[in-house]
Structure 1
Amino acid sequence: MVTGTHIANSRIKSPTPISSLSQSEIQNQAPSNNLADLVNQMPQFAGSTTPQNSRLSLSSGLAGINALNLRNLGAERSLVLLDGRRITPSAITGIVDINTIPQQLVKRVDVVTGGASAQYGSDAVAGVTNFVLDKTYTGLKIDGDSGISDYGDGINYHTAVTGGFGFAHGKGHVLLSGDYAHQDGIYSVDRPWNFNGQRIIANPEYASGNGQPYYIRVGNAGTNYALPGGIINSSTGGVTNSLRGIYFGQGGSVNHYNYGSLSTSSVTVGGDHALANDGKDIGLEPMSDRKNIYGRLSYDVAPWMTLYGEGSYNQSEYIYNAGPQYLSAIKLSGSNPYLVDALGSSALQNVSSVTLGTTALDLPYRRTDNRRSVQRYTFGGEGNFTLFGKPASWNAYAQYGVMHSKEQIYNVMNTAKIANATNAVRSSTGQIVCASSLTDPSNGCSPIDWLGTGVISTAAKDYVLGNPWREERFQEIVSGVNLSMIPFATWAGDANIAVGGEYRDERASGYVPTQYQSGWSVGNFLPTFGHYDVKEAYVEGAVPLAKGLSVNAAVRATDYSTSGYVTTWKIGGTWQPIQDILFRATESHDIRAPNIDELYNAGTSQTTSVLNPVTGATETVLSRTTGNTKLKPEKANTTTIGAVITPRYTPGLSISVDWFHTKIKDAIEQFYPQTIIDECYSGYTQFCAAIKPDPTGTRDLLMSASPFNFAKLETSGIDIDASYRFPLRRILKNANGYFVIHGQATNYLKYVSASGLGYAVDTSGDISSGPPRWIYRFSASYTTSRYSITAVAHGISSGHYSNSYVTCTTSCGAYNADYPSINNNHVAGLFYFDLNGTYTLPVQNSAKVQLFLNVTNLANSHPLLVPESGLAADTTYSNLLGRTYRGGVRMEF
């Protein structure tokens, strides 16, 4: 069975490009005990969700998940299969966590790039990743390994055991596999690269027509509006803003902030910029625990029928440090007793109020704890028989899967209690109390002192903080039947036909205590309830037309209970005029129906920041997203054209080059806060309705967003894959072993997300929102019967921070909100070098004992640095940990 087709014939040449990772590559090259880390190095993947870049997903339910993303088109458009069948999703978005796969049993990973909805159904718009298991493994193998970073942190360890045996004279087979992996969390970022202080700010020298860039990129910069002990940003009454720049230190000490050589309302260059704890107190890596168990029982009940049952259970927990609290606009009255005690009544004469910004060092950092379990049970049969006098094969299965998750955020501020605790007054006895307690003494309010570090009482912390949580349940039932046969032949050879059908039912439910559904600075969880089912039938054929020329076509009829009927199709062909070269091409029409989260999300919220395009100030935003039941399926067309060269005069050499183009209409996407505010100020007033001041005052703005059918999403590029395998004796006579050189690269020529608002930006090479221009991976291995050494180089090309910026330093044109000018828009590329080695011990019995050592990021190269607040580094393509070491042992009996 070849991935990308239901036709069971190994002689069929697929017109669709397929890249594979073998079991030996997985064992020798995996940079960690997580298979997804190796798969994501393949250039076809861009923008995947990982524990590294999902650590701040406080309300989406995705924190800790490893979800593959083909072509940067979104994980929800990349279908993940296990032995050709769907895997139970790990979130209500329908995405699959690769951690749920029994990794010790994986013997091959196939990646099909290009639409495959006609073969596999919805979600295969960008392609398919199929994890193929060794279902007939016999023996016992035990793996154990441990790792650590060059900085002495990031300690991890992993163990796995797999056993398999036959019974009933080989008719039956039992397989059992389990593994456990633990990783210590890294809860602060003390790496040298995190102190670069790059920012993008509005150019204070800019004036209309003076030729200066609208934005400038600066270094040695930091946030000036929120400090660990609080800073006064403005005051009213008396002399307006006379108190601006007073900040508070240990024990409430009063200091005056140095705004440096250049400052805006949110950023200071030079001066006291280092006082802010920008990105230093955000977790770099989560603490994680993963447990997997997988079992399979099969039995040949007849020569043409094998029945089997599979079961798997995965349990995982991810704990993150999500960083400090941020309050940018705390309003204190001029008579606030803490303020009077700190500054004196004379300094506050005629001052009616002050506005304070703080990261509240006294309050414990926000912490996320995501616990998830995924169960999957499959029963089916398969076999081979004779039909029409030719070999045929069949399979049928029914599968039930369920995911349970509990997302909890610790130390989250309750906005109403923050307001009560901030409004402090003196009682008749002279004690500082909450004003609300004067009329309701039993309300439990404890006043909070925002002025300094080491000053907030335990009672105040307990009063204002809470731990919101949500439970979610996702259930999936899938059944399918497939038949592959050869009903007739042409003069050029046998015609292969596959037919089949599938039924799928998905539903979500959840629970959130009423007290955690609203009123919190982040979280405000709501339970999502929704359901849909889908019925599908397909037919696929591969017919030879002439010697070396064949055509492959498929069509699928799909009926969704929510979005109705759709038809998908695919047609392709191969032509091999001579043995040395094969040409291939495909055209497919694919769909993706909206998932339960997009349709029925009851509402999730998260806190983020935006750059105000008018003032250049950074503003904090509470963004809330809900589902949209009016969504319709998105439609995609993908074209691939390529060739595979295997020259006879160079045995072992294979080169493939493929051009791809995918265009998605009515793509289901949504605008996020930065885009919403940009479009509002660009004149698209419909976006302004989504922006409101935060009524609680905890954040600057409140934004609403829901998914809708975009106008277009388009990408194109070139995949290059070359490998050369040759024995060393070709170079050195009588030498043992062989070399394998393998290079893969993808050149993204175009990536356009067009919203239909009158403009579209090609974001290829745009590190903030598009795939890099080039993604590459090269490996070179030397292997003998006793040992192997593998060197791996991988990375991305340099590019732009945002393709929306126009780079100039002088003679800049007039301001354009869609394409503003900037003095420096360049970001460097990435190049990482890894070294892996194995050594098989000369054991005298039947056991095989192999030692291995992997060194990742051998040069301890920095991540790609970007001009952002917080953790100012790219978290998707970069190595954040630096040089790491992992060693272990594999034993097989």
Structure 2
Amino acid sequence: MPAVSFNWRPKSLHLSSLPLKKLAKLNEPYHNRIEYRQEGLDFDCIEHAPQSPLLSSRKRGAKVGKLNNKHTANARFFRASASIIAIICAGSACPSLAQNNNIQNPAEDVTEISDIIVTGTRVIRDGYKAPTPTTVIGEAEIAAKAPANLADYVNQLPSLAATSTPKANVAFISAGYVGINALNLRSLGENRTLVLLDGQRVAPSTLDGLIDVNQFPQALVKRVDVVTGGVSASWGSDAVSGVVNFVLDKEFTGLKGEVQGGVTTYGDDRQYKVSLAAGTKFADDRGHIMISGEIAHNDGITGIGSRKWYDGSKIFNNPTYTATNGQPRLISSPAVGYLSTFGGVITTPGALYGTYFGPGGTPARLNLGLVSGVNMQGGDWQYADFTKNGDLTPKLSRQNIFGRVSFDVADNVQLFAQGSYARATSRNAILNYLGFGITVQRDNAFIPASIASQITGPFTINTFAGDLGVVTAHTKRTSWRSVVGAKGDFALAGTDWDWDTYWQRGIARSYVGADVPINQNATNAFDAVRAPNGVIVCRSTLTNPTNGCVPFNLFGTGVNNPAAVDYVLGTAFRRDRLKEDVFAATLRGNPFSTWAGPVSVAAGVEHRREGVSGSVDPLDATLPARPAYFVGNYRPTFGSYHVTEGFLEVVVPLAKDAPFAKNLDLNGAIRATDYSTSGYVTTWKLGVTYSPIEDITFRVARSRDIRAPNLAELFTTSLTATQVLNDPANGNTSYNVFQVSRGNLALRPEVANSLNLGVVVQPQFLPGFAASVDYYDINIDDAISTVGAQIAVNQCAGGNTVFCNQITRGGPLGSSGVPMLTSVAVSPINFAKQHAKGVDLEASYRAPVFGGNLGLRFVGTRYIKNLFDNGISAPVDTVGTNGYNTVAKNSLPKWRYVASISWDRDPIALSLTGRGFSAGKQNTTYIECTTGCPASTADNQTMNDNSLPGAFYLDGNITVKLSGQIQTYLSVDNILNKDPASVAYGPGLSVVPINVNPVLYDVQGRVFRAGVRFKL
């Protein structure tokens, strides 16, 4: 059954709940062409593809014809709106309206087209063109890519940057992000991107509001709408950088399924996915029921060092640097390990300095190479590098089931209910224990006899404690979601109105845990002595015989029994239960007309409640004032808030078919919001679309948007995490410090002022071509942020005494005689500013070639500015950052792009996609130089090599129709098996020093996926 593409000018907008009904075929004598005319509505469609990503016929063999009078206004809206489909679908299958060339009677056998859900606006009207740019990923595009996870494909859009994925979040144990698949428009933060499911909110998956896409019923997603502009007035809080709406095929009938398997070219990260969906009508087509289920699994990739491209690149302090010798302050270099080993190395100056302990505790001399702080360049760097042990990608499994039933209780009223359950689990190895500067007493019972005579007093040892194994993080997330509602239409005063209402309850439960050393147990076990009877025991046992301590041998690997390991290790975990209730109602209609056409309005109300409760492991519960574990140290969070909102959106046509304008429309929206925590706030939007001629449309939108503080920012109980800080008061010495974070009930909503300017072109002299250019400018005031621990320490050392109150010192004196740092407290406040600017480009062309259909498409974003200013340190513009350094999620190249070429001719469809990003820097704050360097400052440090390359990857797909509705396919990602760049980590040492940036670079290598799908 052939599909069609719409051959008219682009309008670049989204559709919303559009009830198009009853199309019948016009018997026009055109080959492969259908023409539609109805009260000023005229357009033609060209057949080109067998599957529809956006529109679907409810009955196969549909006859196409005129729209019934009841929905004439909606039909004209459809004409003006569908031009966006012409832009976004080039290079892929586009809206499908089936035809039958054998039908002679145009009045017979009419059909219905399912509702179209719009994300960019709440308004339905004639000829409306949305001023907010929108990109759509259709069902056919998703099928052609055949992604293992839909979020992986969506994240390839250039407008989505620095997003949270399981590959990118291996380091974020304490934050609870491990295993999350979230979305981040404009690199402004995932919590500033509103993610919807069928236009409805979903309960957050984390305390700070991230929505895990893993929970969505991906087998039923028919398209993904990406609105790249602030639309808080239409959709509410969090839509600062835009909205991503996953639209389900709620009218699906029949049976469809897919089986997919995949593996990398190295034979690892084996994966599979199985999905099945079924839908049917009942009660004389008044009712509809459907259900879907999906299971998917990825094995993950064990050990970063399993890839040949790993070279141990790190950043460390130049040991020969002085403020006046012109050398760079920092050195970026490969072949860098640490002044530590898995069996320990002595670091006290003297004859034993550099003595390490190998298997069985055998002492040997470590080839130190160039030592700088905790780093060691050259020498035995590979032996002294634990980074390679961390998993490159996590093990991830997910399952979900979804069901929906609807029933037309009257011709114009439908009731519906749906429910879903999803579960996602992940596991990844992330680090070894980092014991730097552990003091060992002279009488330690495990000191090897061969060196015991040379020990004259206490000494220090650095160790990764290899016998403890690799720290493993594991998560489990479940979500329950139920929705009940109704929708319908009615006539009032000669005009048609549509309404819908729903109530939703979502409950998300999460478990985040890590098997890590217990701090006090490790301290007790490492201090081992001989009891009077000659038995080795913990020193603490001499005074407390029943404390259960088991001594641990710090000297060597393979020297400890399981009892010692079990005593040192524990499981830090946190359980959270997040609950969200939403009630919403919307009314849409065209109450009156101007000289240029009907005025359209949408109005609605929404009430939402969000809350969290939780629990933690017994040690964290009993030791709230100090960290119990090496990492993790969770705290339970309790709190809730509610918000009530009302909105009004209106579209006013100002001109149509006038000498100066083919179309001119004004769009405005306003939303009143009242938060129980922060009070009242107003958001608004004002936009204009202007088409001077048929071939071109200009659009402009100005909006005021907000992001309200989330549960974590409001209610987080003191949360302790391990962080390595440089201490300026002690010669910039680096060591582990506890950062204590807590919430702030005095927070206010962030306020963003956004401007969008764009032009959409589809020249009539070049059928099949469309292009758009859109500029965006987003200013966020009162941004909720924290002054990082390192900044607070630097500010205090620089004389800003306000931050000294956040710092706690204690323990031994440092190199300058100042007590060492022990903890730094941080809290979110409204004090920062963010400013983002950029340009989105999109172009497409489609034409018949060699008896098939050729499609070309390009989508790119040029990021111009992404400035963060906390008013304390120097403002930082992250555009051009390709690194994965201190703030990993700020990776943002100047250019990101995706280009594709496709050709299809039954029974074969081929596609080739190129995706990539531009070259950049490891960190935009660094100044690159090798000689004659300027003065290095805390805000702008000098470094010998600050460059990182861009990357270009090729992906391919071939799909073959076997018979009927059965297809088989082969997809290959990263066909050229291009290695990622090694991203130098540092300076200093954190618990998870990643040496690659999985946010940008392809870290898996070439990946093969093959599968079979069917639709009956």
* TM-score interval for Structure 1 and Structure 2 normalised by the shorter chain: over 0.9
Paired position in structure 2 for 1:21: 137
Task: State the distance in 1 between where 2:609 and 2:310 align.
Answer: 50
SS in 2 for 1:383: strand
Task: State the distance in 1 between where 2:681 and 2:711 align.
Answer: 18
Q: Pick from 519, 522, 528: which aligns with 2:631?
A: 522
Task: State the distance in 1 between where 2:768 and 2:393 align.
Answer: 41
Distance 1:14 1:600, change over 3 A: same
Is 1:461 the counterpart of 2:575? The answer is no
Superposed counterparts of 1:233-248, under 5 Å: 233-234=347-348, 241-248=350-357
Q: Pick from 344, 352, 365: which aligns with 1:230?
A: 344
**Counterpart residue identity of residue 587, structure 1:** R
Q: Is contact 1:663–1:714 with CA below 8 Å preserved after alignment?
A: yes
Paired position in structure 1 for 2:977: 860
Offset, 1:572: 0.4
SS in 1 for 2:158: coil
Superposed counterparts of 1:771-850, under 5 Å: 771-841=892-962, 843=963, 847-850=964-967
Task: State the distance in 2 between where 1:856 and 1:695 align.
Answer: 52
Paired position in structure 1 for 2:432: 324
TM-score scaled by length of structure 2: 0.83
Is 1:47 the counterpart of 2:162? The answer is yes
Give the length in aligned residue pairs.
870
Paired position in structure 2 for 1:732: none
Paired position in structure 2 for 1:731: none
Paired position in structure 2 for 1:879: 1002
Q: Deviations over 1:443-475 (max 9, x none)?
A: 111111101111122221111111122221000
Q: Deviations over 1:362-404 (max 9, x none)?
A: 1122112211110110011112222331222111111111011
Task: State the distance in 2 between where 1:442 and 1:759 align.
Answer: 55
Paired position in structure 1 for 2:773: 657
Paired position in structure 2 for 1:170: 285
Q: Is contact 1:329–1:700 with CA below 8 Å preserved after alignment?
A: no
SS in 2 for 1:485: strand
Task: State the distance in 2 between where 1:172 and 1:695 align.
Answer: 72
Paired position in structure 2 for 1:479: 583
Paired position in structure 2 for 1:98: 213
Q: Is contact 1:7–1:540 with CA below 8 Å preserved after alignment?
A: yes
Paired position in structure 2 for 1:670: 786
Task: State the distance in 2 between where 1:751 and 1:806 align.
Answer: 19
Paired position in structure 1 for 2:512: 407
Q: Is contact 1:387–1:485 with CA below 8 Å preserved after alignment?
A: no
Q: Is contact 1:606–1:622 with CA below 8 Å preserved after alignment?
A: yes
Paired position in structure 2 for 1:738: 853
Task: State the distance in 1 between where 2:450 and 2:561 align.
Answer: 16
Offset, 1:334: 1.8
Q: Pick from 505, 523, 540: which aligns with 2:649?
A: 540
Q: Is contact 2:316–2:332 with CA below 8 Å preserved after alignment?
A: yes
**Counterpart residue identity of residue 533, structure 1:** H
Paired position in structure 2 for 1:376: 481
SS in 2 for 1:190: helix
Offset, 1:741: 1.0
Moved more, 270-279 or 41-50: 270-279
Q: Is contact 2:386–2:464 with CA below 8 Å preserved after alignment?
A: no
SS in 1 for 2:466: coil
Q: Is contact 1:416–1:696 with CA below 8 Å preserved after alignment?
A: no
Offset, 1:197: 2.2
Paired position in structure 2 for 1:724: 845
Q: Pick from 8, 12, 24: which aligns with 2:128?
A: 12
Superposed counterparts of 1:306-321, under 5 Å: 306-321=414-429
Distance 1:38 1:433, change over 3 A: same
Superposed counterparts of 1:170-249, under 5 Å: 170-224=285-339, 226-234=340-348, 241-249=350-358
Offset, 1:694: 7.8
**Counterpart residue identity of residue 543, structure 1:** V
Distance 1:10 1:292, change over 3 A: farther
Is 1:705 the counterpart of 2:826? The answer is yes
Task: State the distance in 2 between where 1:436 and 1:113 align.
Answer: 61
Task: State the distance in 2 between where 1:612 and 1:259 align.
Answer: 24
Offset, 1:681: 4.8
Superposed counterparts of 1:487-636, under 5 Å: 487-517=591-621, 518=623, 519-547=628-656, 548-610=663-725, 618-636=734-752
**Counterpart residue identity of residue 352, structure 2:** L
Q: Is contact 1:43–1:744 with CA below 8 Å preserved after alignment?
A: yes
Task: State the distance in 2 between where 1:661 and 1:540 align.
Answer: 22
Offset, 1:181: 0.6
Q: Is contact 2:125–2:590 with CA below 8 Å preserved after alignment?
A: no
Offset, 1:622: 3.3
SS in 2 for 1:38: helix
Distance 1:190 1:711, change over 3 A: closer
Task: State the distance in 2 between where 1:679 and 1:110 align.
Answer: 44
Distance 1:680 1:882, change over 3 A: farther
Task: State the distance in 2 between where 1:860 and 1:617 align.
Answer: 41
Q: Is contact 1:194–1:871 with CA below 8 Å preserved after alignment?
A: no
Task: State the distance in 1 between where 2:160 and 2:797 align.
Answer: 34
**Counterpart residue identity of residue 289, structure 1:** S
Offset, 1:119: 0.3
Share of identical aligned residues, percent? 40
Offset, 1:209: 2.3
Offset, 1:612: 5.8
Offset, 1:703: 3.1
Paired position in structure 2 for 1:365: 470
TM-score scaled by length of structure 1: 0.95
Q: Pick from 252, 261, 267: which aligns with 2:361?
A: 252
Moved more, 688-697 or 511-520: 688-697
SS in 2 for 1:57: coil
Paired position in structure 1 for 2:399: 291
Offset, 1:577: 0.4
Offset, 1:61: 2.3
**Counterpart residue identity of residue 795, structure 1:** G
Distance 1:317 1:482, change over 3 A: same
Moved more, 451-460 or 848-857: 451-460
Superposed counterparts of 1:72-87, under 5 Å: 72-87=187-202
Q: Pick from 753, 762, 771: which aligns with 1:637?
A: 753
Q: Is contact 2:304–2:310 with CA below 8 Å preserved after alignment?
A: no
Q: Is contact 2:873–2:939 with CA below 8 Å preserved after alignment?
A: no
Paired position in structure 2 for 1:237: none
**Counterpart residue identity of residue 283, structure 1:** D
SS in 1 for 2:387: coil
Task: State the distance in 1 between where 2:800 and 2:1008 align.
Answer: 51
Q: Deviations over 1:217-240 (max 9, x none)?
A: 22222112x211111112xxxxx5
Task: State the distance in 1 between where 2:569 and 2:1003 align.
Answer: 31
Distance 1:297 1:696, change over 3 A: farther
Task: State the distance in 2 between where 1:577 and 1:763 align.
Answer: 38
Offset, 1:284: 1.5
Q: Is contact 2:706–2:750 with CA below 8 Å preserved after alignment?
A: yes
Offset, 1:306: 0.9
Offset, 1:422: 1.6
Structure 2: gaps of 5 or more residues: 1-15, 17-117, 657-662, 814-819, 884-889, 987-992
Paired position in structure 2 for 1:348: 455
- CA root-mean-square deviation: 1.9
Task: State the distance in 1 between where 2:800 and 2:333 align.
Answer: 30
Task: State the distance in 2 between where 1:439 and 1:220 align.
Answer: 46
Task: State the distance in 1 between where 2:389 and 2:314 align.
Answer: 18
**Counterpart residue identity of residue 347, structure 2:** N
Superposed counterparts of 1:386-405, under 5 Å: 386-405=491-510
SS in 1 for 2:909: strand
Paired position in structure 2 for 1:432: 536
Q: Deviations over 1:574-621 (max 9, x none)?
A: 000011110000000011110111100113333343456785665334
